[in-house]
Structure 1
Amino acid sequence: MSKMKIAIIGTRGIPNHYGGFEQFAEYLSVGLVKQGHHVTVYNSHKHPYQKSEWNSVKIIHCNDPEHKYGTVGQFIYDFNCIMDTRKKNYDIILQLGYTSSSIWGWLLPRKKSIVTTNMDGLEWKRTKFSKPIQFFLKYAEKLGVKYSDHLIADSVGIQEHIRNKYGKESDYIPYGSHLFEKCNEEILEEYNVVSYNYNMLIARLEPENSIETILDGVVLSKLEVPILVIGNHETKFGEFLKNKFKSNKNICFLGGIYDINVLNNLRYYSNLYFHGHTVGGTNPSLLEAMGSNSLICANDNIFNKSILGSDAFYFKDQKDVASYIKDIKKNENLKLLDNNSIKIKTTYSWEVIIKQYLNHFKSIIIKKQK
């Protein structure tokens, strides 16, 4: 098959300065270029990186007025990106997410390009959104399906949802990660913790991430083992949590930490790593935890179980959390750590994920040619 021309839209751009989809676009685009394909990533004009090429990936900057108009600006940015794709001759347009782009889906150049969309998580389930916004997100999801030629689900839970709700099949391709090996115990000194004698969680401080349940379990355990809570706490729910647990000195709200080396070391030397996410697909932070030798206690749901299988502990309520904190030791569960490391190597490595996307692209081009 000849070299493909691929565009990636739906992110703020590369190199990653923002989050999961941006990191994904970074790894995927570079990986595809190394395979000899022509890849263009659409960037916000406010992105810190202003050149027109990065690691042989072409970059197109589009006007992004989010700094002026807030959320409305995201819709305008996506509109500008889609309008630019109409001027080009891409073989494939990979759309990451649908939240602020699907209302413009009818403008995608589907006659000359194949549009395939990674449907992201079940955004309309997020409790931080008001009822009207949740209603809109359900509608946006429906449009995302309608205006895509092919769909990608990054978890089996999302794949099942798309099949059950829309009667559509999607290709399951998860997120990717790396194994962490550069351990540095000295990092713990800054956070006043001792190796394997503290627990932690990393998440947006939002209700659907089970943070209140986890911290209720910490209190219920009556142990003074520190738990590090990593995530921006200067939010309405963050303030609620800090106020509720202010008398518990072992609950340490650290705010957001974005240095991946620090995060990986904290995960590596923790006793228990709590993953409370209940909404979404293959969560990047969960894979990072698996690759960082974390002993994981996860919320009991299909998204987490489809990734971790029997190699984690699962909680439904604060009693479960308290029981694990009292009874579970990392050094007694090394087999689980080994199994999760093997999964990162064999199933969730970026090399494997890039190959799966490449196969997906090739297959949808062949389908169009038939």
Structure 2
Amino acid sequence: MKIAILGTRGIPNNHGGFEQFAEYFSVYLASKNHDVYVYNSHDHPYQDKKFKEVNIIHAYDPEYKIGTVGQFIYDLKCILDSRKRKFDVILQLGYTSSSVWYWLLPKNAIIVTNMDGMEWKRSKYSSPVRKFLKYAEKLAVKSSDYLISDSVGIQDYIIKKYNRTSEFIAYGASVFNNPNDKVLSKYKVKKSNYCILIARLEPENNIATIVEGYHASNTPYSLIVFGTLNDFGKTLQNKYADDNRIQFVGANYNQEELNNLRFFSRYYFHGHSVGGTNPSLLEAMASNTLIIANNNIFNKSILEHNAEYFDNSHDISSIMNNDSLFAKKEAYAKANIKKIENLYSWDIINNAYESFISQQIYK
């Protein structure tokens, strides 16, 4: 089939979850002799027209000049270009800035949309933006031929809200099995004597809840918080500046370092409460760590009984003060790694996408 992937800043990944999926899936499709095209921002660091047999189409992206609004123009440029290409399938990853242009999508292509998470629930957005995001979500549901949900929570929401079925296909991960403790000295920590939190520093990721609970505990262990220090992050950093256990270290996109830090940590905190299957959760599951997750359907549907859950900062303090959870690390970590191998490996996820899309073409 001739397939295009829209909705990312491009491949190879240097940004986030959808970009990583686009890279893995497009390379997989090309290896299966499909004719694959991925749209890249014009200023993406990778400027070649081919990446591992995947065709790259660069489209103008003015986000660097005008901010987030530029993403609407970038998506428009991608969609207009797609009208000339005679694609069999267009796979849209997300809908926030593309669904407003649905009426320009090529009529002869099958439109498949990954519905991402419930973006309108994110507290960082103003009321008007949330209303727009709900509208964009509705447009995406109505204008797509087929929908994909990467979480059973999103799947349930779509059928209840819009009476539309969607195919559940999660995100993927690769088991990390080559640990090296060299990176620990960089953060001045020792094996099993520190905890870790990796997330965008946004309120809905329960950063404040985790840090507040940690601060109130009497644990001697360090907490390393990874995430770009935006205004919200800086506020928390200043608030807890006197607690030398808590380190706000900014963003780190070095997967090798992060995998090793997860591997040797005592506990890994996952506070995400909005959206589907979060990539960082699967990466943690694949990295031999013990996960303490926010108590919500998105996290529980993936982790099930192989994690500890928290609802508030008091829960965090209790877990850290008691510290009996560490005895379960080996059992929980083994179970989660087995789950990655059996349910969430990239081969399984890529094959599920390919099979689902192919079925729609050859019905």
TM-score (normalised: structure 2): 0.98
CA RMSD of superposed structures (Å): 0.9
Asked if 1:67 corresponds to 2:67, the answer is no
Q: Distance in 1 between matches of 2:174 and 2:188?
A: 27
Q: Tell me the equivalent position of 1:292.
A: 287
Q: Tell me the equivalent position of 1:225.
A: 221
SS of residue matched to 1:181: coil
Q: Tell me the equivalent position of 1:86.
A: 83
1:223-250 CA-partner distances (Å, limit 9, x unpaired): 23110001111x1111211122112110
Choose the corresponding residue for 2:15, options 8, 14, 18: 18
Gap change, CA 1:358 and 1:118, over 3 Å in 2: same
Q: Give the conservation status (yes or no) of the 8 Å contact 1:86–1:109.
A: yes
1:206-231 CA-partner distances (Å, limit 9, x unpaired): 10001111111112212231100011
Q: Tell me the equivalent position of 2:125.
A: 129
SS of residue matched to 1:347: helix
SS of residue matched to 1:333: helix
Matched to 2:285, the amino acid is: M
Q: Distance in 2 between matches of 1:206 and 1:174?
A: 23
Q: Distance in 1 between matches of 2:194 and 2:63?
A: 39
Q: Tell me the equivalent position of 2:160.
A: 164
Q: Give the conservation status (yes or no) of the 8 Å contact 2:76–2:101.
A: yes
Q: Tell me the equivalent position of 1:185.
A: 181
1:333 Cα deviation (Å)? Answer: 3.1
Q: Tell me the equivalent position of 2:50.
A: 53
Choose the corresponding residue for 1:281, options 244, 269, 276: 276
Q: Give the conservation status (yes or no) of the 8 Å contact 2:41–2:58.
A: yes
1:176-218 CA-partner distances (Å, limit 9, x unpaired): 0000112111210110101001111000111000111111111
Gap change, CA 1:332 and 1:302, over 3 Å in 2: closer
Q: Distance in 1 between matches of 2:330 and 2:233?
A: 33
Q: Tell me the equivalent position of 2:233.
A: 238
1:329 Cα deviation (Å)? Answer: 4.3
Q: Tell me the equivalent position of 1:195.
A: 191
Asked if 1:77 corresponds to 2:61, the answer is no
Choose the corresponding residue for 2:324, options 319, 328, 342: 328
Q: Tell me the equivalent position of 2:264.
A: 269
Choose the corresponding residue for 1:308, options 303, 306, 309: 303
SS of residue matched to 2:293: strand
Asked if 1:359 corresponds to 2:355, the answer is yes
Instruction: Report the number of matched residues.
Output: 362
SS of residue matched to 2:37: strand
Q: Distance in 2 between matches of 1:346 and 1:149?
A: 29
1:159 Cα deviation (Å)? Answer: 0.5
Q: Distance in 1 between matches of 2:269 and 2:123?
A: 20
Q: Give the conservation status (yes or no) of the 8 Å contact 1:152–1:172.
A: yes
Output aligned runs, 1:90-129, within 5 Å.
90-110=87-107, 112-129=108-125
1:70 Cα deviation (Å)? Answer: 1.1
SS of residue matched to 2:344: coil
Q: Give the conservation status (yes or no) of the 8 Å contact 1:93–1:114.
A: yes
Q: Distance in 2 between matches of 1:328 and 1:114?
A: 52
Question: % of aligned pairs identical?
Answer: 55
Q: Give the conservation status (yes or no) of the 8 Å contact 1:271–1:329.
A: no
Q: Give the conservation status (yes or no) of the 8 Å contact 1:196–1:330.
A: no
Asked if 1:175 corresponds to 2:171, the answer is yes
Which moved further from structure 2: 252-261 or 331-340? 331-340
Structure 2, unmatched stretches of 5+, are: none
Q: Distance in 1 between matches of 2:156 and 2:9?
A: 28
1:330 Cα deviation (Å)? Answer: 3.1
1:270 Cα deviation (Å)? Answer: 0.4
Q: Distance in 2 between matches of 1:238 and 1:125?
A: 19
Q: Distance in 2 between matches of 1:286 and 1:101?
A: 27
Output aligned runs, 1:30-45, within 5 Å.
30-45=27-42
Q: Give the conservation status (yes or no) of the 8 Å contact 1:44–1:64.
A: yes
Matched to 2:20, the amino acid is: Q
1:133 Cα deviation (Å)? Answer: 0.6
Q: Distance in 1 between matches of 2:92 and 2:328?
A: 43
Choose the corresponding residue for 1:214, options 210, 214, 238: 210
